[in-house]
Structures are given as C-alpha cells and as structure tokens.
C-alpha cells in the first residue's frame, strides 16, 4: 500500500549575513545552508497494517508524512501510495488518504461540526446515501451526537479531535495518517480515539501510519514500529523483538524497613543472600517497557 525507497528531503535556505550591508548581501547571495531532514529511508507498508513511525523531535517524521501526502516533493528517492506518486497525482492521492494532525484542525472554525462534515462530503463528492451511512458510523463510534451542532471553536480538545477523525474517514479512504492524534487529550478521550482506530482498521482493512510521542498509543495499536533519528531508519520490525533485543535487565525492587532497594536481575545475582540482608515489607519486579527501550537506543 505504501512504498518508500531511498527517500531524501534536503531543505535549502539562503545564507544570512549581518552588518551594515548584511540585508543586501543576503538578498543577492548565491550561498545556501542545507539541512537534511530525511536521509535515504526505505520501508514498505502492506494493506491493513498499523505501523508506529517514531522518533524524537526533528527526526523527520512529519517531513515524511508531508511527502506521503504530496504536500512536499522529495529531493530524491521513490514514494508510491496506493500505486500513485503523491506529488504528481495530488488530487487522486488526496482522495485515497485521510490525515489528522493533532496540532492543526481541518475543520471550519466558526461552523457547527455537522456543517464542516457536510462540506467534507461535498469536497470529496461523497454520494448522499454513502454520506448518511458513513456519518452514522462516525456518530456511533466517536460519540458525536452531543456536539454535532456546536461551533468548532467551542469544542473541547477531545471533541475537536473526534471531529477531525470523523472528517478524515468520512469519505472512507483506505489509508490514514495520524500525526500526534492524542496530544493533550485526557484518559477517556485517548481511549475513544484508540478504539476508533482499532475499529476502523479492523472493519475496513484501513492502513494506518501513526506518529506519536505517546508510547501507550503505540503499544495499544501497533505490532510494528519504524524508529528513525536524524532522518535515518534505526529499526523496523516488531515491538516484542525490539524490547527483547534492546531491553535493559529486569529489576527486583526490595521494599524494606530501611527504604527501597533496586537490583538488576542479571546472571550471578544471589537473590537469597540479597533478601536475607533486609527486613522485607514487599517485593516487586520492574519489567522493561517500550519507553525505556527507546530511551536506551537514543542515548547510545
């Protein structure tokens, strides 16, 4: 469904100069500063996969998504989305993808949510029976009825995000890009968004590419992750394999009368001797999680 091969994006900007004639030199200069945002990445995503696309700020995640949607043209490399080159076939590509940016809304600020959804239906030429059926499904899955008639500017963040998800999937695209879809949401709103993504993927074989800093989203939704840093792919595979390969040792935490003590459960640790050294009130074992593994990889 998505093919990316040796994809590269380099941003160029004129070099700026200071001093009395700095503005004129900047205007007339032919010198440029270059920054490589995406550096030769390759991956394939099959129909129906839900893939986490992870990395720190500035790693190249959003730049990749913008090239997949056709907003940006690559410097070099190959991108195909559902058999199309996004920036060459922008209209056709736009009809095959839904996009949700957690920081930016695609809804009309002063219109009631229902009117924004009707406009989306008109823009994508959704026939009336299909629009009614799709809207009913969105209302049921996302609980829209309580605020359908409310202007978007008056919606809470969680309500607006549910409205954005409805707008992105109203015309039933086979591919969904989610860029920080749960940022700033409370626990209940996050759960509603996650359940919607799971149902959408299961019901329509929708392919989902998810970028997020909330690793709970990844663990709840994805079986595969692509980990990037400085525009390069560091890992592409299953979450369990990543944790197994890079996880720090489990830790035994001893809660004793003289405080809590943590010990790495490595070969050679004499647990009976260790326990005999404390007056124990409680014991617990800390298992490595995805967040600790990713922190360890980036710190290396």
pTM of the model as a whole: 0.82
Residue range 213-261, pLDDT digits in tens:
888 889 889 989 999 999 999 999 998 888 777 777 777 788 887 788 7
Q: Are 218 and 225 in contact (CB under 8 A)?
A: yes
Query: Quick one: CA torsion of 204, 201, 142, 191, rounded to 10 degrees?
Result: 170
Alpha carbon 202 to chain centroid, angstroms: 19
Tell the burial category of 268 from Cβ atoms under 10 Å away from its Cβ (0-12, 13-18, 19+): exposed
Residue range 147-182, pLDDT digits in tens:
999 999 999 988 998 999 999 999 999 999 998 888
The architecture (CATH level 2) of 48-61+86-244 comes to: 3-Layer(aba) Sandwich (3.40)
State the Cα–Cα distance between residues 164 and 158, nearest whole angstrom: 10
State the Cα–Cα distance between residues 176 and 81, nearest whole angstrom: 11
Whose CA is closest to 77, among 47, 36, 35, 34? 36
């Amino acid at each position: 469904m998505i093919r990316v091969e040796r994809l590269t994006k380099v941003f160029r900007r004129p070099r700026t100069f200071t001093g009395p004639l700095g503005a004129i030199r900047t205007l007339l200069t032919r010198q440029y500063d270059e920054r490589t945002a995406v550096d030769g990445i390759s991956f394939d995503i099959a129909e129906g996969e839900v893939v986490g696309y992870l990395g720190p700020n500035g790693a190249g995640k959003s730049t990749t998504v913008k090239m997949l949607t056709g907003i940006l043209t690559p410097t070099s490399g190959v991108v195909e989305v559902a058999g199309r080159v996004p920036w060459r076939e922008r209209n056709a590509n736009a009809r095959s993808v839904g996009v949700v940016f957690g920081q930016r809304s695609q809804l009309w600020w002063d219109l009631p949510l229902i009117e924004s959804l009707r406009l989306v239906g008109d823009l994508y030429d959704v026939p009336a029976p299909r629009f009614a059926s799709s809207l009913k499904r969105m209302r049921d899955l996302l609980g829209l009825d309580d605020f359908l008639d409310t202007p978007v500017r008056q919606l809470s963040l969680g309500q607006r995000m549910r409205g954005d998800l409805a707008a992105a999937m109203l015309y039933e695209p086979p591919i969904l890009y989610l860029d920080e879809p749960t940022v700033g949401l409370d626990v209940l709103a996050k759960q509603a968004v996650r359940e919607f993504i799971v149902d959408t993927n299961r019901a329509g074989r929708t392919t989902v590419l998810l970028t997020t800093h909330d690793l709970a989203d990844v663990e709840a939704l994805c079986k595969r992750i692509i980990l990037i840093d400085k525009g390069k792919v560091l890992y592409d595979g299953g979450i369990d394999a990543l944790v197994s390969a890079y996880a720090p040792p489990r830790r035994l935490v001893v809660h004793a009368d003289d405080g809590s003590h943590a010990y790495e459960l490595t070969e050679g640790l004499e647990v009976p001797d260790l326990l005999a050294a404390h007056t124990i009130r409680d014991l617990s074992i800390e298992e490595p999680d995805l967040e600790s593994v990713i922190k360890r990889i980036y710190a290396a």
